[in-house]
Amino acid sequence: MKVKFWGTRGSIAAPGRDTVIYGGNTCCVEILLNCGETVIIDAGSGIRLLGDHLMATRETVDVHLLMTHVHWDHVQGFPFFDPVFKPTTRIAVDGAPRCIKGLRAIFDSGIGDGFFPIQFEQLRADIHYLDELRYGPLKIQNTTITTVPLHHPQGGFGFRFEEDGKSFVFITDNELTREIWRGKRIEDFVPFCRNADILVHDAQFVPEEIELYRGWGHSDYSTALELALKAGVKHLALFHHEPSRTDRAMALIEKKCRALAGKHGAEIKIEAAREGSELIL
């Protein structure tokens, strides 16, 4: 299994000279399964570049698109994903409830609404909604994908991939808490993340900021690390970077998170996800 980050930023795209290392595009991750199938998680602005790559390297595009939820930074790139305009393209959509409705809402419904000038029905690709994950696991050949509900306004799903004895967990837009009265606690996500080879988790904020943004549905690096340690995760990748966070600030977060892990005597690989980087399981 190979994981590639096409968009790592949260909330809004943040291009510019201060984000060239960790990236400025919003959420989009490509998973190439050992069986050869491709799964895309979310359709933020990073999916435009992924679309260009797929068009340049494949005769036809046949992918699964899993949506964590349909807030704007996770769907805004979909109209610019060029494969949707090719009749040979097949896209199987699944994920959080209402995800296909959210994708359709981007487009004009015929009465002058939406956020894009054409209608969903004008897309030439075969886009079909599986609607399997809200009822149970999704099987793609020998890969099993399961979900966990997110602690985020309007909800959503995190995903766990199991293939050939390896496990990859992706949880973004998820507010981890230490007090039960605030919502879902760190411990509530431990079973889902147990012994994962790689955990990608939301860490938009730093600990000093979290109280100011309580209820926004995001975590800081200390709670993401605490989850990883309690679950016995081997590799933690921080994700959904705050849009104003510069490369220099992101490097400092990596350093602080590694130092915090060191205080616990933990042997865990830690990084902040970088646009264009790949992880191999």
* Neighbour tally for 60: CB within 10 Å: 12
* Neighbour tally for 268: CB within 10 Å: 18
What are the distances in angstroms from CA 99 to CA 67, 106, 107, 239, 257? 6, 11, 14, 21, 33
Full 3-state SS string of 107-121: ECCCCCCCCECCCHH
Question: What is the number of domains present in the chain?
Answer: 1
Question: Rounded to whole angstroms, how far apart are CA atoms 68 and 86?
Answer: 25
Question: Rounded to whole angstroms, how far apart are CA atoms 216 and 143?
Answer: 33
Q: What angle do CA 113, 117, 121 make, to 5 degrees?
A: 85
The whole-number pLDDT of residue 114 equals 86
**Residue 207 belongs to what domain range?**
2-280
What is the pLDDT tens value at each position of the chain, 281 positions in all?
999 999 999 999 999 999 999 999 999 999 999 999 999 999 999 999 999 999 999 999 999 999 999 999 999 999 999 999 999 999 999 999 989 999 999 999 887 888 999 999 999 999 999 999 999 999 999 999 999 999 999 999 999 999 999 999 999 999 999 876 666 899 999 999 999 999 999 999 999 999 999 999 999 999 999 999 999 999 999 999 999 999 999 999 999 999 999 999 999 999 999 999 999 99
The whole-number pLDDT of residue 178 equals 85
CATH number, domain of 87, equals: 3.60.15.10
The whole-number pLDDT of residue 184 equals 82
Question: Rounded to whole angstroms, how far apart are CA atoms 1 and 125?
Answer: 26
The whole-number pLDDT of residue 249 equals 99
The whole-number pLDDT of residue 181 equals 60
The whole-number pLDDT of residue 110 equals 80
Dihedral sign for Cα 264, 267, 273, 274, please: positive
